[in-house]
Structure 1
Amino acid sequence: MFRTLLLWVLAIFYAIVGYLHLAAPSGFMVVMPDWVPYPGAVVFWTGVAELLGAAGLVQPWWPQLRKAAGIGLALYALCVWPANIKHFVMDMARDDGGMGLIYHVPRMIAQPIIIWLALWVSGTTNWPFRSR
């Protein structure tokens, strides 16, 4: 029951953020690392990936698709970590301190948790829980 609840929470989160990537890409463009080629296309396709991943998590018919969606979203969260780090550095360098450590530190800590959560809710892993 708890796993299903978190699956829906994660899917809704990714659906909202995916929509925002498509509807308001400018906020994502600002934090895109300079070394990423075609940043506009990357923001667009990451939005599409988030929407497809969210749909894959909640579809009830094909467990393998749910696992693929979980793996895809975990890899996605790993790949966008550099953008989160750039946002952290840029924001903290502002004269006013930006959003501050109270925002950025939990966000940095949340990234590996989100990666694990995508794998756990999709049934890809049961770690650290044991099946009985």
Structure 2
Amino acid sequence: MPRSERSPLLLAGLLAGMGVAHFAAPRPFDAIIPRRLPGSPRAWTYASGAVELALAAGIAAPRTRASAAKAAAAFFVGVFPANVQMAADWRHRPAPLRAAALARLPLQLPLVLWARGVARNGKGLS
């Protein structure tokens, strides 16, 4: 299978894995929910996990791939504040953990670009 055909499936797999993780081990996700959001962090954790699972299913299906990938790009932008929250909360942790939290921040951009590429050509980036 050419790389361009694997790209949407890999993106769907990433989203599905993270969606499952939100339900299987929600505590780390609860901890990075921005405190200014209303409601309980667990509700936001479960909601974002459900969205990730729905996006994964949409991207995996060729008929809905383009629209689901556009939604995934928007989702990656929308969850960026959680990564900022994590970086702020972890600023006093040991250096490796602090570095991991900071490294997550620029990783959102390739995810957004990947999803946009999948949306643009229906197959993914070549």
> Which TM bucket (shorter chain)?
0.7 to 0.9
CA displacement 1:5-26 (0-9 Å, x = unmatched)? 2212111111000001122211
Aligned to 2:7: 6
Given the two structures, how large is their TM-score scaled by the length of structure 2? Answer: 0.85
User: Are 2:33 and 2:44, in contact at CA under 8 Å, matched by a contact in 1?
Assistant: no
Aligned to 2:59: 57
Structure whose CA Rg is larger:
1
Aligned residue among 89, 94, 97 for 1:99: 97
Tell me which protein shows more helix as a share of its residues. Answer: 2
Count, aligned residues:
122
1:11 partner amino acid: A
Superposed displacement of residue 31, structure 1: 0.9
Query: For 1:48 and 1:111, how far apart are their aligned partners in 2?
Result: 19
Aligned to 1:71: 70
1:121 aligns with 2:118: yes
**3-state DSSP class of the match of 1:35?**
coil
Aligned residue among 108, 112, 118 for 1:111: 108
Query: For 2:43 and 2:101, how far apart are their aligned partners in 1?
Result: 26
- Compute the RMSD of aligned alpha carbons: 2.1
Superposed displacement of residue 3, structure 1: 2.4
1:41 aligns with 2:40: no
Query: For 1:70 and 1:124, how far apart are their aligned partners in 2?
Result: 10
In structure 1, stretches of 5+ residues that fail to align are none
Superposed displacement of residue 100, structure 1: 3.1
In structure 2, stretches of 5+ residues that fail to align are none
Query: For 2:72 and 2:92, how far apart are their aligned partners in 1?
Result: 30
The list of structure 1 runs, each at least 4 consecutive aligned residues, that deviate by more than 6 angstroms after superposition, is none
Given the two structures, how large is their TM-score scaled by the length of structure 1? Answer: 0.81
